[in-house]
Amino acid sequence: MSEHIVIVGAGHAGGTLATQLARAGDRFRITLIGAENWPPYERPPLSKQLLMGEVPTEKVFLRPESFYADKGVDLRLGTEVTSIDRAGKTVTLAGGESLAYDRLALCTGTAIREIPVAGRDLPGVHYIRTIDDTLAIREKAGSGARVVIAGGGYIGLEAAAALRKLGCDVTVIEMMDRVMARAVAEPVSRFYEAAHRAEGVHILLETGVAEIGGNGRAEYVADSHGHVHPADIVLVGIGVVPVVALAADAGLAVDDGIVVDARARTSDPDIFAAGDCTRHPNALLGQTVRLESVQNAVDQARCISNELTDKGADYAEVPWFWSDQYDLKMQMAGLPAPDDQVVVRGGPDSRSFSVFYLRDGKVSGVNAINVGADYVRGRKWIGEGRTVDAARLADTEIPIKEV
C-alpha cells in the first residue's frame, strides 16, 4: 500500500515536495494542504513583475492548477491544519476533519512581522506576502498615488521600484543608516540608495515609524522625527517570522524555526520540515541557519524527497538569492558575516559591479549587480572554500576566471 505523505503548507517548499514525490508514482499517496486559496506559487514576483502588472496571476503558479490532480496529488486549498497528534499520527483541519499520515512534512513558511505602532490595523495598511496582498496594492497604485513604505529591505525596495514604474510617489522609511543593511555591505547599500534617489524615491534613513493615522483608513505616516507623510497606500516590509506554532504545540523542537537535522527530519522521525520555517544545519557553512529563500525551499524539499525515496544525502548547499530593482539585477550567494573583508570589483558608476566577502582569505559571499559571471564564479568559490587574493579580485583588468 502507498505510504501517505501529508504536506502542511502549499507554498514553494510544499509545492516542490509534492511535485517531486509524485514522480515516484504509486509509492506515495500525497495530500498537500494549504491555507491560501491559490495553488503553490512563486513569491518573488509579488514585489516585482506581478506588482508592476507585467504578468498575469497564473504566471506565478509553480505548476498549472490542474497539474496536481493530474499527478494524483490531493491538493486541499483554503484549508488550515490546526493541530498534530503525533501519537495517533493524525492532523486536524480547521473544519474538524482529521487526517491520518504515515509521514508528515511541515512547510509552513513565514508570516509577516506586524508593525508595532498605533494605526497598524487601519484599512490601507498593506504587507506583501501573498498574491492577494499584491493585487490589493496594485488596485490602488495608480499614477500619482502616494505610497509610504516602512522598511528599506529588499522587499521594500523592490516594491518601491515597481511602484515608481507605475507612477506612484514613493517614500521609504528605514530605521538603519543604510538600506538592505542586514543583507549587503555598505557599498552595495549606498549604490542602491543612490539608484532609488535618482529614480525619484524619497529615502529617509535613521528614521522610524511613530504612528499610522487617518480617518477610518490609513491616510498618513508620522515618522520618528515628527514629520508627517500623507499616504494613499502604506506598505510595511519589516521582515517575517517563521510559522512554528503547529510544531511547537506538538512538542517538536523549535528555536527561531522548526529544528531539523541535515536530512530535514524534525525531532520526530516521521515528521520532516522544509523551507523558511526551518532551522537547519548546513555542512558547507559549518553552522545552523534559518534562510528565507526560494533556493533553500527547493533544495530542502528535494532533501526530503530524496530521503523518502532512499537517495538521502546531507544538506550542504551554497545559499543564493536574487533581487530585481529597475534595470538592476543583483545575484547573491553565500552567507557573509558583518566583519568579513569586503572587496569591490568594478565601478558602481557603470551600474555593473560586484562585491566579494572574504573570511580568512576564503570567499564567503558575493553580491553581483548586472554581472552574472562574477556571481557564478563567486558561488562556485564559496562551495569550494577557495582562497582568493583580494588585490587580484579588485583588479578588473584580470578576468574573473583568472583571479
Partner 1 sequence: MPVIHITNRAGAESTLEAESGISIMENLRDNDYEIDAICGGSCACATCHVYVDEAWAARLPAQDDDEKGLVEDEPTYKPNSRLSCQIEMTDALDGLKLTIAPEA
Ligand X SMILES: Cc1cc2nc3c(=O)[nH]c(=O)nc-3n(C[C@H](O)[C@H](O)[C@H](O)COP(=O)(O)OP(=O)(O)OC[C@H]3O[C@@H](n4cnc5c(N)ncnc54)[C@H](O)[C@@H]3O)c2cc1C
Q: Which of 100, 194, 373, 391 binds partner 1 (CB under 8 A)?
A: 373
Site residues for ligand X, 44-73, by CB under 6 A, read: 44, 46-47
Residue type, 162: A
Scored b (16 or more CB within 10 A) or e, 155-181 reads: bbbbbbbbbbebebbbbbbbbeebbbb
The residue type of 126 is: H
CA atoms within 13 A on the CB side of 347: 3
- Nearest CA to 6 among 77, 112, 147, 102? 102
Buried b (16+ CB within 10 A) or exposed e, 311-350: eeeebebbbbbbbbbbebbbbbbbbbeeebebbbbbebee
Q: Minimum Å distance from CB 163 to partner 1? A: 19
Q: Which is nearer to ligand X, 80 or 102 (CB)?
A: 80
Nearer to partner 1, 357 or 375 (CB): 375
Q: Which of 248, 42, 220, 57 is CA-nearest to residue 136?
A: 57
Q: Choose which of 45, 257, 275, 281 interacts with partner 1 (CB under 8 A).
A: 45
Any contact of residue 101 with partner 1 (CB under 8 A)? no
| 317 makes contact with partner 1 (CB under 8 A) | no
Q: Which three cell numbers stand for residue 123?
A: 484599512
Residue (174 or 292) nearer to partner 1, CB: 292
Out of 129, 279, 345, 377, the only residue in the binding site for ligand X (CB under 6 A) is 129
Task: Report in angstroms the alpha-carbon separations of 28 from 7, 119, 178, 261.
Answer: 12, 48, 49, 23
129 binds partner 1 (CB under 8 A): no
Q: By C-alpha distance, which of 71, 24, 46 is closest to 131?
A: 46
Distance in Å, CB of 215 to partner 1, minimum: 40
Q: Name residues contacting partner 1, limited to 323-342 (CB under 8 A).
A: 324, 329, 331
Q: Which residues contact 319 (CB under 8 A, 6 or more apart)?
A: 282, 285, 289, 291, 293, 295, 296, 333, 334, 335
Say which entry of partner 1, ligand X, none residue 336 contacts (CB below 5 to 8 A, set by partner kind). none
Computed on alpha carbons and rounded to an integer, the radius of gyration of the chain in Å comes to: 22
Among 57, 136, 322, 359, binds partner 1 (CB under 8 A): 322
| Binding footprint of partner 1, residue count (CB under 8 A) | 27
Which of partner 1, ligand X, none does 372 bind, CB closer than 5 to 8 A by kind? partner 1
Helix then strand then coil, in percent of the chain rounded to 5, is 25, 30, 40
Residue 163 interacts with ligand X (CB under 6 A): yes or no: no
When asked if residue 335 is in the footprint of ligand X (CB under 6 A), the reply is no
The partner in contact with residue 71, picked from ligand X, partner 1, none with C-beta cut-offs of 5 to 8 angstroms by kind, is partner 1
381 binds partner 1 (CB under 8 A): no
Binding of residue 323 to ligand X (CB under 6 A): yes
Spatial distance between the Cα atoms of 364 and 341, rounded to a whole number of angstroms: 9
36 binds ligand X (CB under 6 A): yes
One residue of 63, 164, 263, 345 binding partner 1 per CB under 8 A: 63
Residue 390 CA to residue 214 CA, distance in Å, equals: 53
**Of 3, 74, 80, 261, which lies in the binding site for ligand X, with binding defined by CB under 6 A?**
80
Q: Which of 5, 7, 9, 368 touches ligand X (CB under 6 A)?
A: 9
Tell me how far CA of residue 384 lies from CA of 97, 123, 162, 244, 390, in angstroms. Answer: 49, 50, 36, 33, 17
Q: Does 155 bind ligand X (CB under 6 A)?
A: yes
The one among 78, 239, 347, 372 contacting partner 1 by CB under 8 A: 372
Does position 330 interact with ligand X (CB under 6 A)? The reply is no
Q: Which of 5, 6, 7, 12 binds ligand X (CB under 6 A)?
A: 12
Minimum distance, C-beta of residue 180 to partner 1, in the bound complex (Å) = 17
| Interacting residues with partner 1 (CB under 8 A) | 19, 22-23, 42, 44-45, 60, 63-64, 67, 71, 294-295, 298, 320, 322, 324, 329, 331, 371-373, 375-377, 380, 401
